[in-house]
Amino acid sequence: MNQAPKMTLCGIVLDSPDVRELAAFYRQLLGWATEQDYPDWVKLSPPDGGTGLSFQTNAAYIRPNWPAGPDDQQMMLHLDIETDDLDAAEAHVVASGAVLADFQPQDDV
């Protein structure tokens, strides 16, 4: 087997029918700066220089349901974001525009 060349995850890209709206949500949620801003693409970067989040326009995007039923749009990925204060983080994400899911798989997430 050949040895793989060095590869680095350099970004995570989320599709959206409205990149500005989704980028604004994550900008407020995470406090990250806008690094790139184009009509169909926005990239946010964390202050520590780690991997950023990008958003690209996809007019045909269908928002997934969670937990998904058999005929629902399925998720392709989800983002795990860690916090040291779950109650404060929950209030912050709701104030930023998130909608809390009725179902949570654990009590501490």
- Which of the four pLDDT bands, split at 50, 70 and 90, describes residue 102? confident
Question: Which pLDDT tens digit goes with each residue over 38-75?
Answer: 999 999 999 998 899 999 999 999 888 777 788 888 77
**What average pLDDT does this structure show over 4-20?**
88
pLDDT at 1: 63
Q: Is 43 exposed, middle or buried (0-12, 13-18, 19+ CB in 10 A)?
A: buried
pLDDT at 109 over 70: no
Report pTM. 0.77
Determine the distance from the C-alpha atom of residue 42 to the mean position of all C-alpha atoms in its chain, rounded to a whole number: 12
d(CA 17, CA 27): 17
Q: Which domains does the chain have, with CATH numbers?
A: 12-95 (3.30.720.120)
